[in-house]
Amino acid sequence: MSDREYLEGLLARQDLADDGAELTELRKHRRDVEKILVERFSECAPTIRYGGSKAKGTLIKEFYDLDLICYFPRDDSEAGETLKEIFDNVRDALNDQYDIEEKTSALRLRSKDPGTVGKDFHIDVVPGRYIDDSGSDCFLHQSRGDKDRLMTNLETHINHIKDSGVVDAIRLMKLWKVRRGLCVKQFVFELLIIRLLEAKGKASLASQLEHVWEQISDAQEPIAVEDPANPVGNDLMPALQDGIWSQLSSAATATLRTLENSGWEAIFGTVTKLSESARVARLQTAAAVVSRPTKPWAVDV
């Protein structure tokens, strides 16, 4: 089996079938969450839609989350006067149905059902408020960090990843990160991969992965990345500091050594060769994800 066949087979086994159990359950909970929020904030019509890896096409079966954004109009006060009030009120609206874990800017949903208490639904609800009437830039509340709010733009983030030309490499590096137990934030990690592969978009997938590991392994200091939605205002570098970079560098060095001595299967495990029909089907699915336009309101897909 060639390197390309091996890595394509590995990716195929990380695909989530559109009608599979995982996405079916995510859609159900998305509908439930949207119903709760639309009813609770009926006078201000929040924008509710997919974000994160679902929207960017970077889902992997081994570790998947659904970011569900809930953004309110600039001049709305029903959801709260401040970003913190919006965050707290969205949390309170969901609290009857879900056990809520508060993250920096998101609300992680888990089961309250006596039979499945604590079950992780893989859903983060992200409350925010649009900065103006264009429905693009948005402020999020931050419960940790130097600033209590973060300016972002969902469309910019989604398009930056989808249009990077290296989504397959991002998915495999995400799998590597998960299996290595590395704690770097996924979006920052994606930006790092895109930066390192700026001149490698036409290279083979195997060459792309090796190049990323080599660059991380060789760098003595964290490689700088910028938030495409707010390059000057959002400092992403803390996500690569405090020991995170040394962990990444050590893992990359060890992976390169394993690859040289034992090959790809020693890194990711054994996979069977894809049939030609399965390979073509996967390529068509990937192309559809990249070309599918995003919409201002969430829809079932």
Domain extents in the chain: 15-162+273-301, 164-270
Helical spans, DSSP H, in the chain: 3-12, 21-40, 52-56, 83-95, 154-162, 167-180, 186-196, 205-218, 244-262, 265-268, 276-291
Q: Are 285 and 274 a contacting pair, CB within 8 Å?
A: no
Instruction: Sort 223 into a burial class: Cβ within 10 Å, 0-12 / 13-18 / 19+.
Output: middle
- Count the helix, strand and coil residues of the chain and give each as a percent rounded to the nearest 5: 45, 15, 40
Region 250-269 average pLDDT: 97
Per-residue confidence band for 116, with pLDDT thresholds at 50, 70 and 90:
confident
CATH code linked to domain 164-270? 1.10.1410.40
* Separation of alpha carbons 141 and 239, rounded Å: 18
Give the strand pairing for 66-72 and 47-51: antiparallel
Residue with tokens 């509340």, as numbered in its chain: 141
15-162+273-301: CATH topology: Beta Polymerase; domain 2 (3.30.460)
Region 199-220 average pLDDT: 97
Q: Residue 273 has what pLDDT?
A: 58
Q: Are 295 and 49 a contacting pair, CB within 8 Å?
A: yes
pLDDT (tens digit, 9 = 90+) per residue, 38-58?
A: 999 998 889 998 888 888 989
Region 25-34 average pLDDT: 90
Per-residue confidence band for 277, with pLDDT thresholds at 50, 70 and 90:
very low
The Cβ-side half-sphere exposure at 176, using a 13 Å CA radius, reads 27
Q: Residue 66 has what pLDDT?
A: 83
Q: Residue 122 has what pLDDT?
A: 85
> Chain-wide mean pLDDT for the chain?
87
Percent of the chain with pLDDT over 90: 63
Q: Are 123 and 65 a contacting pair, CB within 8 Å?
A: yes
Q: Are 36 and 97 a contacting pair, CB within 8 Å?
A: yes
How many residues comprise the chain? 301
Per-residue confidence band for 286, with pLDDT thresholds at 50, 70 and 90:
very low
Structure tokens at 209: 């992965």
Structure tokens at 293: 């336009």
- Per DSSP, the three-state class of 51 is strand
pLDDT (tens digit, 9 = 90+) per residue, 125-147?
A: 999 999 998 888 999 998 876 78
Per-residue confidence band for 250, with pLDDT thresholds at 50, 70 and 90:
very high
Return all residues near 17 (Cβ < 8 A) that are at least 6 apart.
23
Per-residue confidence band for 299, with pLDDT thresholds at 50, 70 and 90:
very low
